[in-house]
Amino acid sequence: MTPIPGLPPVRAGMCIGLLGGSFDPPHQGHVHITIEALKRFGLDEVWWLVSPGNPLKAHGPAPLAKRMAAARSVMQHPRVRVTDIEARLGTRFTAKTLEALFHHYPGVRFVWLMGADNLAGFHHWDRWDWIMENVPVGVLARPGQRISARMSPAASRYRRYRLRGREAARLCVAEAPAWCFVNVPMIDISSTRLRDDGAWTS
């Protein structure tokens, strides 16, 4: 197992949840779904992958160093790691990041985490079907996005591989393709709203 500089060492057999995003800014909604993911999916740890930039967004986020510092301030939990792994790897697309993680950590199981809003637009992601077929995916419902997510192209194509909510803890040991959609009490807050309200400036 080849450790990536800047990341804590992990043990073979661990199950790591990956929550990617620009975190521009990070907020309690991110914290909430992270803690829920730890509990629901039986994860050993969650890594926040604070991205250098979102390829699907035209305008860049705040500087990475600022977002990393803010993320570490808001997310303080012994089993959650805030990382800049994509900047270290030089990857911007999720599929490329996952390929690199599989290479560096062959004995570790990964679960990709996302909000239901991401599932609704997942078919626009680069190599989204490859992602579904190579890593289990845990989806956490967010306000107003449940119906559109469940009717999305990704949900439709991989419907037969969906684990029920009561099976969520099996996600770590499931072979991809496998995904689980869980409804959780959500905090209705978004990074966009915080930026629009002036609570976060680049």
In the chain the domains, ranked by start, together with CATH numbers, are 15-196 (3.40.50.620)
Q: Tell me, yes or no, if the pTM score tops 0.75.
A: yes
Task: Residue 116: name the closest of 16, 5, 29 by CA.
Answer: 29
75's tokens: 């997310």
% residues pLDDT > 70 (the chain): 84
Specify the pLDDT at position 142.
Answer: 65
Cα dist from 10 to 46, 63, 144, 158, whole Å? 12, 28, 36, 31
Residue 33 is encoded by which pair of tokens? 């779904």
Please state, in angstroms and rounded to a whole number, the distance separating the CA atoms of residues 195 and 202. Answer: 9
- pLDDT tens-digit profile of 67-99? 999 999 999 999 999 999 999 999 989 999 999
Residue 182: partners with Cβ closer than 8 Å, 6 or more residues away: 36, 40, 138, 139, 140, 141, 165, 168
Q: For 50, list phi and psi in degrees, rounded to 5.
A: -80, 110
